[in-house]
Structure 1
């Protein structure tokens, strides 16, 4: 949302004569008009960080005094065109701070809680050890575990040849300097790039430069809007990271947008949407305290970058106002089933299932090509192991070993969720919600006649599972009950029932299922998985648009430019809607008329038509949509059942006849029964709310709570 600030209540009092602000409005408000004071850079006063906060005062008259902890800060404020006063209040102490605005006969108070710039604010105990990587950004080497480094500012410019080049002096105008167009006005295409550390991460800001930025007098070259970028992957963490979501991007900067990101917004560095949300909130706050109020913030990024957008919008609404997730997944845990399935299938097909044909493998996996399963196994299955995906920044000597270093770093991606899931005291590993008990692999392939009864029985009797270290074992995988309860209650498995219900979404689906990309993990059904969750939770998915395009540079560029423009128009219309409708109603009512489901037939031809699962229409012909391992096993399109409830094994449910030996094997494979996907999953329940806090190590909050 545009910064919807929390307003303080008004207390009437008789006070000493205040100062008259230079340039303040001369209009005297009606006697009943309240005096308000509100935070702008972070709309949640309890979650401010870094010792400063941008504050807005709407005066009841022209004489206003502003104080912070009894200290007069009025000179920091400046009159704005709308008659309000805006000022950056600095020098906040850690913990509670009392701000006040007063006139001759009125007073408004606001309590602000400040947190260290190194964090945490709400994500809970920070991961240790934590290895610094500031030199990757040209910053001085830093000391763990806070990894702080001084802020640096540099400049670049866009050349007329279409590249970015360094610029030592931003006041100079190179002969090959291009121009950007902001609000219909040509401005020099000079970019200010800021790098520093916030929340133990390296952050980056980029914006067109037309003079020193000021939070009370925004740069005329900035369009007042922010794009926040998120990077992909999913891994265990324990290091700072060497990349952000990227900020020097012509698509955004040429249109006047500012861009922000941090290393903890790259899911391959930090596979926790909660930590990512905190980092984004803190970086965005710093941006507003540098550049001024933000009209709205657009999320951008693919794969793991899409996960962060979907999950932050759902659980920490307001950090991003509208999202454009690319090649998306709904959350880190929903993909865990198919990923682990692919590891088990690869092992099975290399051994007992070697006689399965390519077509049979594909039918069991469900993807458009079985190569997708191969790719899942090669690229991401290691993230469930103890040390198979450790980043090079983590010294080998620091890594876990069951004998020589049982307390060492475990590179399982669930490590980033320890503050939510907790540790299993028996193993020392984070409790896992992964489960394969009762899953009937290849069920739909059996029903379709693609695999035989003997093959189905052997597959399910032999496939085995993974233990807590990610090592293959004969037994099926069993989820930790406490982990299951947590992931649903705290909406870590994205239910799409909270913030997402009122978030504009343009799901940017580059088709990688077919057309020579059959080995890619970013399969199209996941866009429809999230849509199904929206429909089930809210009765509508009208706030989500899916647009498909081919994986060519020209088509991706055309799609990106259109989607960015459409999202901006959508959010601008929502911001301008002053009706009494709810936020959700405004989002549904103000979607641009030209924006809807559809696809690109070529870089210059986009058609609009309702997209469906299974695929249909002209887009369906161009972009067929397949399934995955769990859907083939009978799970619904929502794909949110991590552990199924069981029903008795009944051989009358199958369209084939099993031999006595096959029945014996299946009974042994499913001693407690088979998955009943007609019932909610084990532990499945509605979430308890948004903006959960897992403690800041200083106020002593106990997880999970609403921020105080």
Structure 2
């Protein structure tokens, strides 16, 4: 009874606290008032793979003139989706242009003579467009920048080797904000197409973060210029778009469509560069792998930082994390699992006695659920790296972007990463919620831990009976969050999103079954990295495993395994991992320059690892050998140990690319030695009860991959490295 009363009070407090966010929105936020109708546009028809599909001709007239607006509809990435939140003001570009009077999108206000905004609405903007314009910045060696608005401000600066004048062109292409940064001389101030300092080499800047669409995204000029000052000062030009920052969208088809158009704008202004090299971290790293695979001539080389093979296969194990923590905290004896070896046996990721803010939620949630109080000491990367990710990515009812939209828009929208991919994965006239690609049917969590003796048979069976899966998208409910005034971080009353996870009863907790048609569409439309690597690539990571950072290094080797499987060689792929205090970026640009100039991999491009002073610890072909390729540990692997993840610990491949496993009966798994050296015969009845649908057979390929020749259900021929569309988006 006490729990019921407390729960009602907490719900009331939560509701009242949420009202604090419903006060009138100041001009700076420009909340989206109403959702516009979907704007029809072409989506490329892929019958085999995006890589082998010619892109349509782009009839847009380039360059987009100053004062004009770039193309609004994508060339081949499908319809413009709404709602769509504007970020032009936050990018320093002013209010968007009025494009309707029907209150669709964001209100646009009349400006006062002093530049402030009045309360008079002059129209609305659904597409967040701004005309192309020029801006100028002086940047110094420390990356500090000052925007220059007139020649008198420019005269105050004495340009030397420590300063650089940069001309920025900004506007909108495909509704997203594009940026072209060109180093110029002082005499080129207030000119447009001059480029006397350009070395004829181009950088395409990609950026990371976890985004679910629905917004234009901002470009912070000062941040961009600080990040790329060294290269700009050496004569490189830099281009980018907010569509190429995964904080705003992980739709790689839209990202590619936009990147081609931004590059065409650049080339129309300045001519074709000698080469274009991509750079970017996390999501900006995986974007380079996917774009190089899907449209190989867009970039000529890649420097992915903190990368993953792709986002959709990262979710395979990332969405396991809250299932596992829900099991520890609410379905079992938490004290039993507060053990480093046991947690690693299940999760694979590193762990340590590093406290996380979620510790404060634990006693509250224990009290609400009637669990005995226990404060855990051991936290893993599942907590430090992935806390809240499932609610952002997988829960259409949550919507952490809600403050950007009106209440009516929030009620109409499904807020999930899957919805961002709906134009690719969803069939026409389908249900409102886009299909999820995630699946754990037949997954034997902790199987390797069982085989290695870290888990007992009883622990293994209890874990798999109770762990369950994620509820269907339409069944999920928002998190219960308790907000306090003037405090940014809410208290989670549904820790680990436990209310959206199936619970066991007389039968084992239900597992989640993926939509196979959607998985296959993701493969076909290039959202999954298959291992095509035809351009020079230096994959760089800081070693952050001791900090339990989500950017673990095992992802680089998952990518490498896919390349080896697809191409049979690593001619173009290098892995450099460094102490967190050193970043070998200058060396990478130098090596890439030699590689592209000579068309041969230079000797100093080999795999390597660096200490905190930048000295090379070891280099060469075998330095990264280890469990990932069934080889004795190399010199770099010994210095920087490689961890695994929950699906590898469940017996899955290190390459991490199985969305939907093929299953076999428990009896056959026993006969095939799946549990050896542990004899699980005495537990046959319990195994069958726990896995009524059978268990994963990871010797067989992914049911969702339409290109697997070993898959009897394959509907497409295998892709070959030589296969690529002739146009590559340039027609």
TM-score band (shorter)? 0.7 to 0.9
CA contact (8 A) 2:626 2:634 kept: no
- State which of 164, 173, 179 in structure 2 corresponds to 1:204: 179
**What are the superposed Cα offsets for residues 561-580 of structure 1, whole Å, 9 maximum, x if unpaired?**
11111112212223xxxxxx
- 2:545 & 2:726 partners in 1: Cα distance? 36
- 1:213 & 1:287 partners in 2: Cα distance? 18
Match for residue 544 of structure 1? 573
- Residue 119 in 1 paired to residue 136 in 2? no
Indicate the SS of the match to 2:611. strand
Alignment size in residue pairs: 558
- State which of 665, 668, 678 in structure 2 corresponds to 1:656: 678
Match for residue 558 of structure 2? 529
CA contact (8 A) 1:158 1:177 kept: no
CA contact (8 A) 1:214 1:290 kept: no
- Residue 462 in 1 paired to residue 466 in 2? yes
Indicate the SS of the match to 1:278. helix
- 1:159 & 1:124 partners in 2: Cα distance? 42
Indicate the SS of the match to 1:207. strand
Give the deviation of 1:529 after TM superposition: 0.5
CA contact (8 A) 1:247 1:261 kept: no
Check 1:665–1:251 CA distance in 2 against 1; reply closer, same or farther (3 A cut): farther
Match for residue 660 of structure 2? 643
- 1:564 & 1:309 partners in 2: Cα distance? 15
Q: Give RMSD over aligned pairs.
A: 3.0
Check 1:436–1:426 CA distance in 2 against 1; reply closer, same or farther (3 A cut): same
CA contact (8 A) 2:531 2:566 kept: yes
Indicate the SS of the match to 2:231. helix
CA contact (8 A) 1:454 1:658 kept: no
Match for residue 572 of structure 1? 597
- Residue 608 in 1 paired to residue 608 in 2? no
- Residue 476 in 1 paired to residue 516 in 2? no
- Residue 365 in 1 paired to residue 369 in 2? no
Indicate the SS of the match to 1:526. helix
Give the deviation of 1:312 after TM superposition: 0.7
Indicate the SS of the match to 1:378. coil
Match for residue 603 of structure 2? 593
Query: 1:240-639 maps to which residues of 2 (within 5 A)?
Result: 240-243=216-219, 247-248=224-225, 249-353=228-332, 354=334, 355-359=336-340, 360-369=342-351, 371-382=380-391, 383-392=393-402, 394-399=404-409, 405=411, 408-423=412-427, 427-469=431-473, 471-473=500-502, 474-497=509-532, 500=533, 502-514=534-546, 517-518=547-548, 520-552=549-581, 555-556=582-583, 559-574=584-599, 590-606=600-616, 607-610=618-621, 611-614=624-627, 616-639=633-656
CA contact (8 A) 1:244 1:266 kept: no
Give the deviation of 1:255 after TM superposition: 1.3
More helix by share: 2
Give the deviation of 1:488 after TM superposition: 2.6
- 1:292 & 1:393 partners in 2: Cα distance? 43
CA contact (8 A) 1:233 1:303 kept: yes
- 1:260 & 1:152 partners in 2: Cα distance? 15
CA contact (8 A) 1:160 1:178 kept: no
More relative contact order, 1 or 2 (CA 8 Å, 6+ apart): 2
- 1:117 & 1:223 partners in 2: Cα distance? 29
Check 1:447–1:161 CA distance in 2 against 1; reply closer, same or farther (3 A cut): closer
Check 1:491–1:139 CA distance in 2 against 1; reply closer, same or farther (3 A cut): closer
- 1:419 & 1:162 partners in 2: Cα distance? 40
Unpaired runs of 5+ residues, structure 1, are: 1-43, 54-87, 92-114, 181-187, 575-589, 694-704
Check 1:175–1:337 CA distance in 2 against 1; reply closer, same or farther (3 A cut): closer
CA contact (8 A) 1:484 1:682 kept: no
**What are the superposed Cα offsets for residues 653-702 of structure 1, whole Å, 9 maximum, x if unpaired?**
32334586x54342133222111111111032337775699xxxxxxxxx
- 2:408 & 2:245 partners in 1: Cα distance? 23
CA contact (8 A) 2:386 2:550 kept: no
Match for residue 191 of structure 1? 166
TM score, norm. by length of structure 2: 0.71
Q: Which shifted more, 143-152 or 161-170?
A: 161-170
Give the deviation of 1:647 after TM superposition: 1.3
- 2:569 & 2:197 partners in 1: Cα distance? 39
Give the deviation of 1:151 after TM superposition: 2.1
Unpaired runs of 5+ residues, structure 2, are: 1-53, 99-124, 352-378, 477-499, 503-508, 708-717
